[in-house]
Amino acid sequence: MENRFKNIFFCSTPCEIEEIAIKCGLKRKHNICAGGNAGNIAISLNEANDEDFQKYMERHYLICENESLIEAGGLGLWIGVKK
C-alpha cells in the first residue's frame, strides 16, 4: 500500500504557498507567522470572553499577516477555504 502521507510536510516561501493554493482551488483566509507569544498568554486567552478574544485575534492577524514577519518568523501557517 502506498504511503499517502509520505510527503505531507514541505518547505515553501509565502509566495510559493499562495501559488500552490491557487492551483489546488483554495482561497486564502489567513497567511500568518505562527511564532509568537500565544503560549505565554494561553491561560488568559482560554479564559477571555468572546469580545476580548476577538480583539486579540484582530491584533494578532494585523501583526502576524505582515509578509516580512512571515518569512522572518521561520514558521508560517496558511489557512484557506475551498472556493
pLDDT digits (tens, 9 = 90+) for 39-77: 678 788 889 999 999 998 888 888 888 777 766 666 778
Where do we find the cell 499562495?
18
Question: What is the predicted pLDDT for the residue at 18?
Answer: 87
pTM above 0.75, yes or no: no
Residue 2 scores a pLDDT above 80: no
Cα separation, 64 vs 57, in Å, equals 10
Mean pLDDT of the chain: 80
Give me 64's grid cell: 502576524
